[in-house]
Amino acid sequence: MRDKNSIHTYIHTVRENTNAAYDSGWKIWSDWCLGRGHDPLRSAVPVVASFLAEQSRSKAYSTVNIYRSTLSSVLERVDGLPIGQHPEIVLLMKGIFNRKPPSARYNSTWDVDVVLSYLRSQENASLSLGALAAKLATLLALATLFRASDLAAISKRSIKFSTNRVSFSLTRPRKAQKSGALQSFTLERLGDETLDPVACIKCYISMTESFRKDSNNELLFISSVGLHNPVKSQTISNWIKKVLKDAGIDVEIFSGHSTRGAAASKAVAVGASLDSVLSAGHWASSSTFRKFYHREKDPGPSVAVSVLNPDNNWYSHYLVPAFISSPPNRHIGVAVSGSFFILRLPFIFV
């Protein structure tokens, strides 16, 4: 049986964000067990099933599933299987799923060009360090479809500029990467310098150079105040969320993470191949349709070029009237002639 000292070692074999979720899940499981006289280190299937069933009464399926994964990663196997893959637990989770199926976080997306118009009004050199960091994070999130955790892992030391592009890598694997070497990424320079992530990276590195030392020189993004330590993914997400809010996006609905769905939807709408979008977003598959039937005749423009080149017509091409009462500066869709329109696209990524 595993002891208490080894539990956190097992938990820390996963990624940073997953690790935090597993830590939380383990504490909830431990408190639940101790409150009922159970040993949290034992893999009793009926006890685990009772715990998961009780949690499902007040929590979403996805949260309960995290608890299952947490227990699978730290408890001893039962009948040769991780506790979460035991037939009784699998059957229970199917029941929880059917009773409380997860729903998509967003039913619509926002217009990327609204945010680009806002960012275009900002000259890089005239911005404060904090505003420049937020602009760069937003441009990179849109151009690469990175999560905030990916942005926080960009290696400053790996950044290499050439005439028309910049390349860089991450200091850790992306969320869905299970094996293999760390990936390298390339972004092409854009003609509009105010929306060019390459120019923005250059400006940010130049502006932060005087704050760099050995302790904060490994990662690209650092705090704009204090000791200028490397920032966590939540800070970067908050930066992006502020940009969205300042641009007029309703952040009561859309989080900083929503850049992935908005940018991917625009890229597909204006002609980027589905393959290139799936690759950039690190999605394993879109559906059985893509796997067996869908083929791209023309690969089209890259994701970065598709997203960061404003096209005033793309959004309206995919709008349908919804006649919803909503403030005109809230971009669930866009207000047009007194009506409110919702975006309807063939692919909405979350």
Q: Where are the domains of the chain?
A: 4-99, 112-343
Residue 73, pLDDT score: 87
Q: What CATH superfamily is the domain 4-99?
A: Tyrosine recombinase, N-terminal domain (1.10.150.130)
Asked if 317 contacts 343 with a C-beta cutoff of 8 angstroms, the reply is: no
Question: Which residues fall within 8 angstroms of residue 21, CB to CB, at 6 or more apart?
Answer: 66, 70
- Distance (Å, rounded) from C-alpha 102 to C-alpha 99? 10
Amino acid identity, position 288: T
Residue 66, pLDDT score: 93
The arrangement of secondary structure in 112-343, i.e. its CATH architecture, is Orthogonal Bundle (1.10)
Residue 311, pLDDT score: 65
What are the backbone dihedrals phi and psi of residue 120, each rounded to the nearest 5 degrees, phi first?
-65, -25
pLDDT averaged per 10 residues in sequence order, the chain, 350 residues: 50 53 88 93 92 94 92 90 94 93 73 94 96 98 94 96 94 74 89 95 97 94 94 96 96 90 85 83 58 42 82 60 39 35 43
Residue 201, pLDDT score: 98
Residue 336, pLDDT score: 33
Q: Helices marked H in the chain — which ranges?
A: 4-11, 16-34, 45-56, 61-74, 87-99, 112-120, 129-144, 148-152, 197-208, 233-247, 259-269, 274-281, 288-292, 303-308, 314-317
- Distance (Å, rounded) from C-alpha 309 to C-alpha 63? 38
13: three-class secondary structure by DSSP: coil
Which DSSP state fits 81? B
Asked if 69 contacts 21 with a C-beta cutoff of 8 angstroms, the reply is: no
- Distance (Å, rounded) from C-alpha 71 to C-alpha 84? 7
Following DSSP, what letter does each residue of 230-282 receive, concatenated? BPPHHHHHHHHHHHHHHHT--TTT--GGGHHHHHHHHHHHTT--HHHHHHHHT
